[in-house]
Amino acid sequence: MARGIRLLVLDVLKPHQPIVTELALGLSELEGVEGVNITLVEIDKETENVKITVMGDDLDYDEIARTIEEFGGVVHSIDMVAAGKKIVEEGETPQDKLEE
C-alpha cells in the first residue's frame, strides 16, 4: 500500500521574523512529519528565501503550506516531491550532463 507523499522540497519566501528555528519546530509538530530541514538560500533587507525539506509519512501539502503561511511565509514552488512506499533517488540523465 502506498504511503502518500513522503518528501517535499519547497522554495519559500518568509520575513525575518519568526526565525527559521520557530518555523521548523512548527512544521515538525504536524501530523505525519518525521523531520524538517530549512536552508537559507538568500537574504535581503526584509525577507529570506529558504529551501524547506519535509520528510514523513502521508504528508499533507495543504496543511504544510497553511502552516508556512501562518508563520508569514509563502510557497513559491514545489521543487521536489516523492511518494509511495519508499523514496526513489533521482537518476542522472543525459540532459544533466549538458548542464555541467
pLDDT 10s digits, 30-73: 999 999 999 999 999 999 999 999 999 999 999 999 999 999 99
Provide the residue range defining the domain that includes 42: 5-86
How many domains, in total, are found in the chain?
Answer: 1
20 has a pLDDT exceeding 80: yes
Instruction: Look up the pTM and report it.
Output: 0.88
Confirm whether 68 is domain-assigned.
yes
Range from 15-29, 45-59, 66-80, 84-98 carrying the lowest mean pLDDT: 84-98
Confirm whether 97 is domain-assigned.
no
Orientation angle between helical segments 20-28 and 61-70, nearest 10 degrees: 150
For residue 25, what pLDDT is reported? 98
Confirm whether 70 is domain-assigned.
yes
- Chain-centre distance of CA 89, in angstroms? 17
CATH number at residue 67: 3.30.70.1340
Confirm whether 99 is domain-assigned.
no
Confirm whether 43 is domain-assigned.
yes
Confirm whether 93 is domain-assigned.
no
Strand partners, 47: 15
